[in-house]
Amino acid sequence: MLTLLIATSNNKYTIVNLFKILALTIFTRYITKSSGFVLSSLRRPKPPPFVLLHRNRICFKMSGQIIDGKAISIKILNEIKEEVEILKENNNKIPGLAVILVGSRKDSQTYVRMKKKACNDCGLFSLGFDYPDTVSQNEILENIYDLNRNPEIHGILVQLPLPSHLDESFILNAICKEKDVDGLHPLNTASLCSTSTHFGAEKVDWTNFRSLPFHIACTPQGCIELLDRYEVKIESKRAVVIGRSNLVGLPVAMLLMHRNATVTIVHSKTPNPESVVKEADIVIAAVGKAGIVKADWLKPGCVVIDVGINSVDDPSKKRGYRLVGDVDFENAKEVASLITPVPGGVGPLTIAMLMRNTVDSCRHSLQN
């Protein structure tokens, strides 16, 4: 029996065209069987360009819709700006974010500038602390302790990575969990990994992250936000997360699980990772290897969120390189129904979630 699979609901073919494909396939098989022609083109008919085969099923091949992270982030930042205006008018309070930068890494400096610009665009108050590579750990810790006590600061961010002589975990753990808007404090991570249905008397609502009494890491939260904004169903779907880092892989897997997806984590020791990924309705790639996820790894019609950001040599670019994700985008978009580009996909959402976490921290401080 010939099974038909429409890869996505975004592109529909008429019943007439569907039967044309069926009739063509059946007729070709009948002719080759009854006539004994030896022409390879008849024995193995080449499918039309908009059709591909997947596990003996006919699937419609189509270019996936691009998830516009920039547009979504602008919308969220505008929403945050309105919230900040309300906080200022009703409570005479402006959310404040402190950003600590150590060293002179160009990428870190760029990220910090982008975060400060987002603060300015949303109306948040921001403080910047720039330290040389030689700064002592005690100096940074003393500043963090001061910021913990400062009622005008609602979020503290330490830009990573830090120089090797600094204990990254110790410094991040020094930030009080209420102001850990990056969601990296062990108590915030523990809350994320809990399967409790209540926090105190309040029932946990994993469809509304802003109702949670703790902070979720910005990039994983941004991945789920993109799925929600594009109305991708998560519950009962099979999700594969490629990568198991503390920053993205593990927390995004927990978020998907809390939303009732069946989650598998693929990592460097997973045998035949492509066979695992091919089962997924939702693929989140966060491994940090350029183009490791090929188009033939993907199930037709799946949704792909590419968290990876990698630089590859490109003499045609002024900088001599270009940024790409973990997914082979140009080919994968012909298989997926929705896919994020790199850049312009998850990245802008990370900053938007940072702004939102800071506003939520301010609101929680007023409630307490």
Q: Which residues are catalytic?
A: 115, 159, 182
Q: Could you tell me where the beta strands, DSSP code E, fall in 95-169?
A: 96-102, 125-131, 155-158
Tokens of 95: 């959310």
**Whose CA is closest to 217, among 309, 101, 70, 349?**
349
65-66 vs 338-339, strand pairing mode: parallel
343, burial (CB in 10 Å: exposed 0-12, middle 13-18, buried 19+): middle
Cα–Cα distance for residue pair 234/236, rounded to 1 Å: 6
Contact 346, 223 (CB under 8 A): yes
Contacts 24+ apart (CB under 8 A), 9-12: 9/337, 10/62, 10/65, 10/337, 11/60, 11/62
Cα–Cα distance for residue pair 365/368, rounded to 1 Å: 5
10 Å Cβ neighbour count for 100?
22
Cα–Cα distance for residue pair 257/253, rounded to 1 Å: 6
**Whose CA is closest to 80, among 213, 181, 189?**
181
Q: What angle do CA 58, 60, 66 make, to 5 degrees?
A: 145
Distances (CA, A) of 180 to 51, 121, 212, 215, 368: 49, 21, 14, 7, 16
Cα–Cα distance for residue pair 260/164, rounded to 1 Å: 39
Q: Quick one: DSSP state of residue 293?
A: B
Contact 79, 137 (CB under 8 A): no
Cα–Cα distance for residue pair 64/336, rounded to 1 Å: 5
